[in-house]
Amino acid sequence: MSPANQCIVKTLELAELMLRVAEEGDAARKDVGCGVLYGVLRDSGYRIRKLAEAEREAHSKKGR
């Protein structure tokens, strides 16, 4: 696997970790501020995952 594709895989793993932390944090939160924090983390995780998946697909189509 190329270094570029390895980085995409790591990015996807990071996005999944962000989503898990957001879920756990939201379940354990004590106030609204934490809800905002975990909401931003969740939204960012989804956006990063979407971008990384698109890039992985582009690499696949180019045969990289």
pLDDT digits (tens, 9 = 90+) for 7-63: 999 999 999 999 999 999 999 999 999 999 999 999 999 999 999 999 999 998 887
> What residues does each domain of the chain span?
3-58
| pLDDT value of residue 1 | 85
Taking the complete model, does pTM exceed 0.75, yes or no?
A: yes
> CA–CA separation, 57 vs 8, rounded Å?
11
| pLDDT value of residue 62 | 87
In this structure, the dihedral spanned by the alpha carbons of residues 8, 39, 37 and 20, taken in order and rounded to 10 degrees, is -50
**pLDDT above 70: residue 64:** no
